[in-house]
Amino acid sequence: MKKGTLFVVSGPSGCGKGTVLKEVLQNPNLYFSVSATTREIRPGEVDGVSYRFMSDAQFEAMIAEDGFLEHAGYCGHYYGSPRKPVEEHLAMGQDVILEIEVVGAMKVRETRPDAVFLFILPPSLTELERRLRKRGTEEEDVIQKRVAQAAREIGCAKDYDYVVVNGELSKAVEEVNAILCAESRRAQKNLEEINEVLEK
Ligand code: 5GP
pLDDT tens, position by position, 112-138:
999 999 999 999 999 999 988 887 777
Residue 131, ligand 1, Cβ within 6 A: no
Question: How many CB atoms are closer than 10 A to CB 111?
Answer: 9
The predicted model scores a pTM of 0.93
Q: For residue 193, what pLDDT is reported?
A: 93
The pLDDT score that the predictor gives to residue 138 is 77
pLDDT score for 1: 79
Q: pLDDT under 50 in the chain at which residues?
A: none
Q: What is the pLDDT of residue 134?
A: 87
CB 14 within 8 A of CB 146: yes
How far apart CA 167 and CA 46 sit, in angstroms, is 27
Sequence-distant (≥ 6) Cβ neighbours of residue 31 within 8 angstroms: 4, 85, 89, 94, 95, 96, 97
- Ligand 1 close to Cβ of residue 104 (< 6 A): yes
Residue nearest (by alpha carbon) to ligand 1 atom 9: 101
Q: Among 8, 17, 74, say which to mutate for ligand 1: greatest number of ligand atoms within 8 Å of CB.
A: 74
